[in-house]
Amino acid sequence: MSYAIIGGTTYDTEAGSLHIESAIGRRSTSAFTVKTDAPSIFLEDTAVALYDQNGARIFAGYLVAPKHGPAQAMQLYHALSACDKHRLADKRAVVGSWVGYTGAYIARYVVTTFLAAEGVTIGAIYDDHTIGDDRIISDSLLCGEAVGVISALAADYCMASVTFDEIVKRISASGIPFYWQIDYGAAFFLVPYDAIESTLTIDESVVEEIEVPPQITRTNPKYRNTQIVKGGYVETVVQNETFTGDGNAQSWPMRFALSQTPTITVNGVTKTVGIRGVESGKDFYWSKGEFDITQDAGAPKLIGTDAGACAYIGMYKNVSIVQDTTQIALEAGIDGTSGQVDAVEDVATTSLSAQLQVAGSRLTRYAVQSPPGLEFSTMQVGFVPGEWVPVQLPDFSLSLSMLIESVEASDALDGLNVWYRVKAISGPSDTTWAAFWGELTGSGNVASTEDTATTTIVTVSQSFSLGISLAVSFTYSTFACPLCSNTTLCSDSTIIC
């Protein structure tokens, strides 16, 4: 029979009352009933640990909102619920600011500076691009592009859990989804979904096949074979434009929004340039993302004989489209349509390579048709959400590695033993149909009147074996929409997008 240790005191749990839910990247909860020898009051936040019939710890956390009646009517049976160790990150505020550090560095700082006093230790923190305290950046490690590097993050007395959520959001934007958790032993983890390997194996020796047979489900709510990424900007090559004065004008528009500090000359003389609204005492001013350059208000206005020149790097809005032609053909054979399944994401990027990286990684992750998912019951303790585990079930044609997505523990099956209902997946690990529909109904995508200057189409060929192993090769076919003027003529080779 299972039991609970609450505030250092051991209580047997009532048969059939125990239920624990845990899932990768989500909070774990538990509900159970204990009997006391005398009327008792349990206080919220009291530490609790739950153990199965073999003495294995299966939950640890803190009581949440325990209830009781008046003193003369207090019962000896107490239906209790508890939250997990994530509470330790919910109760401590964080202050700090970081520029150009990895998410791993920031998370480690938060844990050691603010949560160590709560008993939190470092379990595993994955850092793909390790950067030391000196943050030396080389040509091969760019702050704006490297996976895991956050350009800027400030925590103004926000809770540690909110800080971790923001770190995960930032570093997952590259296309490799991360999650954070504090496990039952108060160890902190910040890792990709596929970072931890289990010591167990799912085979016929642990899977209950008679009373509660396993089930195989083949689904991918976020399946796509064409990934569209918009919302980013791409820099131009150096643009050279000229301008003249009329005795009144002190502002001149460029063809592109400016991305970097321009070089401005007037009558062959180089002028000083500053950031508009930030600097003063300069001949001309500019602002990133804006089209115009402006002359200092106190400078002599240019006249028609003055020859101005501006050399600059511009920027324009870009959309990248990545397609998996193999998956498109596969889907066409399944549903009898064109086979193309689109997904659109709005991601702020500042270069074509970054935008293609996001698009390609999304497609690599989600362009998997009907990956198998396994749900089974077992009395084997030790299956943990977020761990990769080998699966050998020949009767179900499964021989691969799968990710433990969730584990539910309950003694309701026989009232004596704790049984575990385990869900393992081989496809994308960060989506369910419920989450998919929630995102769809909450989508903020609307039509935009803003011009998009360039569309990039990328064709991706992927060969998949059963499971997660894949080989990816990219063939880039780039189609640039021309910037039109009143002299642009359409032809077979000039396509107006």
Per-residue pLDDT tens, the chain, 497 aa: give them: 899 999 999 999 999 999 999 998 889 999 999 999 888 899 999 999 999 999 999 999 999 999 876 665 566 889 999 999 999 999 999 999 999 899 999 999 999 999 999 999 999 998 754 433 333 333 333 333 334 788 889 999 999 999 999 999 888 876 678 899 999 999 999 998 878 899 999 999 999 988 889 999 998 888 999 999 988 888 899 999 999 999 999 999 999 999 999 999 999 999 999 999 999 999 999 999 999 999 999 999 999 999 999 999 999 988 889 999 999 999 999 999 999 999 998 887 878 888 888 888 888 888 989 899 999 999 999 999 989 999 999 999 999 999 999 999 999 988 889 999 999 998 776 555 444 444 444 444 444 444 454 444 444 443 333 233 333 333 333 334 444 444 545 444 444 44
pTM of this structure: 0.69
SS3 395: helix
User: Is-same-fold flag (1-85+195-213+378-424; 93-182)?
Assistant: no
Tell me, what amino acid is at 283? D
The domain over range 1-85+195-213+378-424 is classified in CATH as 2.30.300.10: yes
C-alpha to C-alpha distance for 142 and 131, rounded to whole angstroms = 11
Q: What is the pLDDT of residue 210?
A: 87
Pull the structure tokens for residue 385: 């959400």
For residues 430 and 422, what is the distance between their CA atoms, to the nearest angstrom? Answer: 16
Q: What is the DSSP string of 77-102?
A: EEEEEEEETTHHHHS-EEEEEEEEEE
Domain range summary for the chain, segments of one domain joined by +: 1-85+195-213+378-424, 93-182, 235-313
Q: Which fold has domain 93-182?
A: Phage tail protein beta-alpha-beta fold (3.55.50)
Taking CA atoms, 253 is separated from 247, 258, 269, 293, 382, in Å, by 17, 10, 20, 6, 65
- CB neighbourhood size of 242 (10 A): 10
Task: Say whether 168 sits in a helix, a strand or coil.
Answer: helix
pLDDT in tens, 392-414: 999 999 999 999 999 999 999 88
Distances from the Cα of 405 to the Cα of 111, 193, 423, angstroms: 25, 9, 6
